[in-house]
Amino acid sequence: MNRYILRRLLQALPLLLGISVASFAILKAVPGGPLAAYEASPDITDEDIRRLEHAFGLDQPVPIQYLSWLGRFVVGDWGYSFVSHQPVLGLIGERLPNTVYLMGTVFVTVLVLAIPVGVLTAVKQYSWFDHVVTGSTFGFLSTPTFWLGLLLIIFFGLQLRWLPLGGMATPGAAFDLGDRLRHLILPVATISLVQLGSHVRYLRASMLETINQDYMRTARSKGLGERIVVLRHALKNAAIPLVTVVALDIPELFAGALVTEQIFGWPGMGRLFWDAATRLDYPILMGILAVSSTLIVLANLLADVVYGYLDPRIRYA
Amino acid sequence: MRGHRSVRVLAVAAALLVLATACASTQPAGGSPTTGPVKGGTLVFAIWQEPATLAPNYGNQTITGIVNAVAVEGLLRTDTGGNYQPVLAKAVPTEKNGGVKISGDGKRMDVTYELQPDIKWSDGRPFTSADVKFTWEAWMKDPKVVSREGYEQIESIDTPNDLTVLVHYKTIYSPYLTRFGTIMPKHILEKVADISASDYGRKPLGTGPFVITDFKAGDSITVERNPNYRKKGQPYLDKIIFRSVPSREVAVAQLKAGEVQGMWNLIEAQLPDLEKDANIKLSITPAPGVERIEMNTAVNKDGTDPNSVHPVLGDINLRRALIYATPKQQIIDRLLFGKARVGSSPVSQGWAAPKGLTQESYDPKKSNELLDQAGWVKGGDGIRTKNGVRASVTITTTTGDQLRERVEQILADEYKQIGVELKISNMPSSVLLSASWAAGDPRKRGAFDLDMYSSTPAIDPHQTVNLRYHSKQIPYPGNGGNGQNYTRFKNPEADKAIDEAGSALDLEKRAAAYAKALTLLNDAAVCIWLYERSAIEAFRTNVSGYAGQVWDGITWNTEDWYMKGTAPSY
């Protein structure tokens, strides 16, 4: 097992390097550049633009720019934003807790709701409950978050005035748990409703497959109660595929929700990435992309390892 | 059983909603109205753009200036009439009052600033002439500052005493009053090796009415009253919180809900709705930005030869026909709710705005006459041709801008009626407006027919007029792509007038020279000045003291702002 993990980790290195080359190349292929927005300043001259290009190393050939970024990145110098001149690590550091707070809540909410709802829809297949849940999860799954988020804001924020329109807390107010929670409800609901759709459908399909297995009939004929049959015998096996889905949610804890954070003015990683992308602020974009891709690779590895642990039929050589 | 479960789910949902309602905020009630400024209170001001930095030397976003103006001051500032008034200086230096002296056979100039005594930085340290000199040095030493315009023209600075600054210019630099608009604290920054990486980027220390005390990225910026502010009893407000919101629409919603008391930068389309709200007051001032269409007179080609002639737009009659066929007033009425003014020049406001200068107004009949006379003959598809060249051109503007896209559609329709085909091909602003040869700005490289965008001159328009309309500023491969004369407009008389305006100090003389250059520009029919926009801000009615002005952001005088009624108790 340890050798397997080590091998996978070693394999990940060239993969991550490839991802970083591709990311950099794609960012560089975007026309324009980080200095584009400087034209807004009526004072800026061509000499100013050239001086700034030189100061940021943008006058170097692209491969050199990449190598110098990589060289500094691996020793922990993630560079400075071209726009705010703040260190990238610091910018990520101040946004990360906000994103973990939002996405962590989503993560827990989705899990807590998806398991019982998924099990119930499978057990009560073709029931009234199943039809409503399957129909609505399919609906939410197909709803773009930006639209759902705006709809929730209009309804609960503007029409009913129950919940704040955005942000993480009332500005200037002292810490207040109720206030924090009220700001949390709409963004969490937006992301959760969409994610819940996929998780419930996954679990339902997997449960249905398990319920019809022979050992389920055996368990029932042993005289076990329906509750124990479903929870201990069926769910345990049916949840295995869900592990993969849940493990792949982990990178989102870091990356945040690009669209939802933007709509709700949430000061997290998604918004940092968005703002950096609109300005083509390479150091920030590369920093976030590097961490995200590493987390995705690690989450995949984690899913595979846990999978093998949960299902003894799977052996790693 | 089945039904029972789902009832329970519904019950939980209902309970959550009740909880949410119980937690919902209550609005602060309005108190009894009083007269005159009231002290105290926290004003929350919504900004829909996030300032990446607050350092005046690195910030090029408008929002940077909006926020840091409450803390960072300069030697001079403009008032609502567009006139300079002293802030940290005692007087505005001019030739008349002896503050400006010409030297070196009329080729150089020296400017003397006498500083106000007893001014303190917000940390209590005295403000002196050394800070002014340090500001210039920091600007010149640091490769990351946005623009060195006006500082590069300085030879040296003398500080004979703590309250006198003597600036020696290398040339006659006529826009000298626009410099030293922000002063940096020497006692803090002289020890810092790289100012860009220091705390100054987020909490620049200044002499203004407020101190920036908290910067929560992506969330809010809090500023509190400066105890060492020079005006006694001011500012009136205790605090201003600049709240980052995702969009103008959200800012409007928060303003209507009373979650914020003011907001920055609305667009004309939002006015009809807000004008109906009795709790909201609007501040509308003319803005210097002018939306324009530029016509490329050289061949549409990457790295075009400035002496080549565009097969269609090279004909002045066709260009003029397009101007006649542009329904500016209709665009303003239909798309901007009548809240803009018809454009007539790139310099629309201030002392340099040419008075009485106009541009051909909407008259498609004249367009047709001009084109008929010039030999452009309508073909079977209604589009004109001349010597086998079809009158077909492409317009480019920034993608995703609804207003501009609708203008394009109106124009395509109007131009078709005079027999000119208008195709639309838009680009992201990061490309179209990059102003960088290397980044492939099509305007720089000459690879466009018509472009539509907006540009804002500074209070001293020299940079704008010179950079965009002097023939030396035509970008082409031979000069490394320098300059922003995108229409490739060439007129020796205009060049002469621009040079004159840039080397004189007398404002009347300069204004006359700009008027001459801009009249010649309009005669050449290379630009269509579409409309002049407004700067629009909105406040709750209990806020007073703000005064919108042309050349500075709404926050230029926050020391005079106050709030009546019960302030929200934070």
User: Which of A80, A86, A166 is closest, CB to CB, to B246?
Assistant: A166
Residues of B with Cβ-Cβ distance to A157 under 8 angstroms: 253
Say if residue B192 is in the same domain as residue B329: no
CB contact under 8 A, A182 and B20: yes
Of A214-228, A284-298, B110-124, the one with minimum mean pLDDT is A214-228
Inter-CA distances, B14 with A220, B39, B455, Å: 37, 44, 53
CB contact under 8 A, B243 and A162: no
Chain B CA closest to residue A132: B6
High-pLDDT (> 90) share of chain B, %: 71
Burial of A222 (0-12, 13-18, 19+ CB in 10 A): exposed
Number of compact structural domains in chain B: 2
Q: DSSP assignment, residue B126?
A: B
CB contact under 8 A, B21 and A162: yes
Residues of B with Cβ-Cβ distance to A275 under 8 angstroms: 50, 52, 218
| Residue B447, domain CATH | 3.10.105.10
Say if residue B302 is in the same domain as residue B421: yes
CB contact under 8 A, A163 and B20: yes
Supply the pLDDT for residue B156.
97
Q: Does A83 touch chain B (CB under 8 A)?
A: yes
Say if residue B506 is in the same domain as residue B559: no
Are residues B268 and B340 in contact, defined by beta-carbon separation less than 8 angstroms? yes
CB contact under 8 A, A44 and B435: yes
Inter-CA distances, B9 with A105, A116, B14, B566, Å: 19, 11, 9, 42
Q: Does A65 touch chain B (CB under 8 A)?
A: no
Mutate to test the interface with B, among A30, A44, A98, A182 (most CBs of B within 10 A): A44
Peptide bond into B204 cis (omega under 30): no
Q: In the predicted model, is pLDDT for residue B11 greater than 60? A: no
Supply the pLDDT for residue A316.
63
CB contact under 8 A, B6 and A132: yes
Give pLDDT tens digits for B255-306.
Answer: 998 889 999 999 888 898 999 999 999 999 998 999 999 999 999 999 999 9
d(CA A165, CA B252) in angstroms, rounded, equals 11
Q: Which residues contact A203 (CB under 8 A, 6 or more apart)?
A: A114, A115, A118, A119, A122, A238, A239, A242
Read off the pLDDT of each residue in B498-520 and give the average, rounded to a whole number. 93
H helix and E strand count, chain A = 15, 0
User: Which of B17, B464, B480 is closest, CB to CB, to A42?
Assistant: B464
Supply the pLDDT for residue B266.
92
Task: Please report the beta strands in B440-488, taking only residues with DSSP state E, as ranges in sequence order.
Answer: 450-455
Q: Is residue B568 domain-resident?
A: no
pLDDT band at B235 (very low <50, low <70, confident <90, very high): very high
Q: What average pLDDT does the structure give for chain A?
A: 88
Chain B CA closest to residue A92: B217
Q: Which of residues 19-58 of B touch A (CB under 8 A)?
A: 20-21, 23-25, 42, 44, 50, 52-53, 55, 58
Q: Is residue A98 domain-resident?
A: yes
Are residues B56 and A186 in contact, defined by beta-carbon separation less than 8 angstroms? no
Residue among B119, B44, B49, B133 at smallest CA distance from B89: B119
Supply the pLDDT for residue A131.
92
CB contact under 8 A, B435 and A36: yes
User: Which of B2, B62, B456 is closest, CB to CB, to A129?
Assistant: B2
Q: Which of residues 117-136 of A touch B (CB under 8 A)?
A: 120, 124, 127-129, 132
Give pLDDT tens digits for B402-457.
Answer: 899 999 999 999 999 999 999 999 988 877 887 778 778 899 999 999 999 998 88
Q: Is residue A173 domain-resident?
A: yes
Supply the pLDDT for residue B473.
93
pLDDT band at B46 (very low <50, low <70, confident <90, very high): very high
CB contact under 8 A, B439 and A158: no
Say if residue B398 is in the same domain as residue B307: yes
- The length of chain B, given as a count of residues: 570
Say if residue B30 is in the same domain as residue B152: yes
Read off the pLDDT of each residue in B127-132 and give the average, rounded to a whole number. 97
pLDDT band at A315 (very low <50, low <70, confident <90, very high): low
Read off the pLDDT of each residue in A269-277 and give the average, rounded to a whole number. 91
B317 vs chain A: nearest CA distance in angstroms? 31
B246 vs chain A: nearest CA distance in angstroms? 5
Give pLDDT tens digits for A154-212.
Answer: 899 888 889 988 889 888 778 889 999 999 999 999 999 988 888 888 889 888 888 88
Supply the pLDDT for residue A317.
54
Read off the pLDDT of each residue in A119-139 and give the average, rounded to a whole number. 89
Chain A CA closest to residue B149: A43
Q: Does B217 touch chain A (CB under 8 A)?
A: yes
Are residues B535 and B548 in contact, defined by beta-carbon separation less than 8 angstroms? yes
B196 vs chain A: nearest CA distance in angstroms? 6
Q: Does B243 touch chain A (CB under 8 A)?
A: yes
C-alpha torsion angle, residues B86, B87, B90, B94 (rounded to 10): -30
User: Which of B20, B61, B433 is closest, CB to CB, to A185?
Assistant: B20
Residue among A111, A118, A315 at smallest CA distance from A234: A118
Q: Is residue B266 domain-resident?
A: no
- Bridge-based pairing state of the strands B108-114 and B154-161: unpaired
Q: In the predicted model, is pLDDT for residue A217 greater than 60? A: yes
Q: In the predicted model, is pLDDT for residue B34 greater than 70? A: no
Q: What average pLDDT does the structure give for chain B?
A: 89
Inter-CA distances, A111 with A182, A195, A254, A268, Å: 21, 10, 18, 22
Q: Which of residues 91-110 of B touch A (CB under 8 A)?
A: none
ipTM (interface predicted TM): 0.85
CB contact under 8 A, A267 and B60: no
Q: Is residue B569 domain-resident?
A: no
Q: Is residue B239 domain-resident?
A: yes
Q: In the predicted model, is pLDDT for residue B482 greater than 90? A: no
One-letter amino acid of B336 = L
Give pLDDT tens digits for B86-114.
Answer: 999 999 999 989 999 998 888 899 999 99
| Angle at the Cα of B445 from the Cα atoms of B439 and B451, rounded to 5 degrees | 95
Q: Does B403 touch chain A (CB under 8 A)?
A: no
B458 vs chain A: nearest CA distance in angstroms? 6
> Which range marks the domain in which residue B293 is found?
287-533
Say if residue B10 is in the same domain as residue B157: yes
One-letter amino acid of B13 = A
B273-276 long-range contacts, CB within 8 A, separation 24+: B274/B538
d(CA B93, CA B109) in angstroms, rounded, equals 12
Q: Does B17 touch chain A (CB under 8 A)?
A: yes
Say if residue B343 is in the same domain as residue B414: yes
Say if residue B342 is in the same domain as residue B422: yes
Q: Which of residues 255-294 of B touch A (CB under 8 A)?
A: 257, 259
| Residue A142, domain CATH | 1.10.3720.10
Q: Is residue B25 domain-resident?
A: yes
Say if residue B357 is in the same domain as residue B456: yes
Say if residue B79 is in the same domain as residue B31: yes
Number of compact structural domains in chain A: 1
Q: In the predicted model, is pLDDT for residue B490 greater than 60? A: yes
Q: Which of residues 134-173 of B touch A (CB under 8 A)?
A: 143-144, 146-150, 152
Inter-CA distances, B541 with B234, B256, B260, B271, B502, Å: 21, 11, 12, 16, 44
Read off the pLDDT of each residue in B345-367 and give the average, rounded to a whole number. 93
Say if residue B296 is in the same domain as residue B387: yes
Read off the pLDDT of each residue in B131-139 and give the average, rounded to a whole number. 96
Q: Is residue A106 domain-resident?
A: yes
- The length of chain A, given as a count of residues: 317
Helix (H, G, I), strand (E, B) or coil at B533: strand
Predicted TM-score (pTM) of this structure: 0.85
pLDDT band at B537 (very low <50, low <70, confident <90, very high): very high
In the structure encoding, which two tokens stand for residue A173, read together? Answer: 């107010």
> Which range marks the domain in which residue A182 is found?
88-310
H or E stretch covering B391:
none
Supply the pLDDT for residue B116.
96
Q: DSSP assignment, residue A264?
A: T
Say if residue B363 is in the same domain as residue B312: yes
Supply the pLDDT for residue A172.
77
Q: In the predicted model, is pLDDT for residue B33 greater than 90? A: no
In the structure encoding, which two tokens stand for residue B138, read together? Answer: 């920091």
Inter-CA distances, A92 with A100, A104, A255, A271, A278, Å: 12, 17, 10, 11, 17
d(CA B13, CA B319) in angstroms, rounded, equals 65
Q: Is residue B269 domain-resident?
A: no
Q: Which residues contact B64 (CB under 8 A, 6 or more apart)?
A: B51, B52, B53, B54, B55, B56
Helix (H, G, I), strand (E, B) or coil at A224: coil
